[in-house]
Amino acid sequence: MAMLKLAVVVGILLGSAKAIQLSGRHCRNRFGHRFFTARGFWLAAVAINFLWWGYYAWATAALHHAQQSGGLALMALGIAAAGWLIYENIRGTDAFYGVVGSTLQLVLFFPVALYGIPLLVIALIFLLFATYKSAPVWLVDP
């Protein structure tokens, strides 16, 4: 029974990946617009992070005896970034494909944007401090 469940999950994942590829190819051929680009990722990442951390700041403001307006402002910026992403996708395609493609972008980029970018920043800060304290290298020409 476990193998059947595993086969169903793998089939759903592979089917979803193939459907995303086919729809991306269809939109590129029909409209000349691609959804999964670096610009689309960064817009989605900004929207997701602002919404996530804005909600967190809003929800925990009472526990920290702070104003809730900071969290609301972050959420407003996240909604504005998501609206701009949807606007660009609708402008590049039509209303149906733009909304569906934007939804796919936000859903598929969510884990990478929320967890990947902070880990990348932590790694870059670690590398900065690791290389800052290194001894100078003297090059001697023979």
* DSSP states along 104-120: HHHHHHHHIIIIIHHHH
Specify the pLDDT at position 20: 87
Which pLDDT score is estimated for 115?
A: 86
Quick one: pLDDT at residue 136?
Answer: 66
Which stretches of the chain score pLDDT less than 70? 133-137, 139-142
Of 102, 112, 1, 106, which is closest to residue 9 (Cα–Cα)?
Answer: 1
Question: Per the structure block, which two tokens stand in for 78?
Answer: 């996240």
**69 to 60, 62, 111: CA distances (angstroms):** 12, 11, 26
Q: Express each pLDDT in 112-131 by its tens digit.
A: 888 887 888 888 898 888 77
Residues 6+ apart with CB under 8 A from 70: 57, 58, 61
pLDDT at 129: 82
pTM here?
0.76
The pLDDT score that the predictor gives to residue 127 is 85
User: Residue 102 contacts by C-beta under 8 Å, 6 or more apart in sequence?
Assistant: 35, 82, 85, 86, 89, 90
Burial of 45 (0-12, 13-18, 19+ CB in 10 A): buried
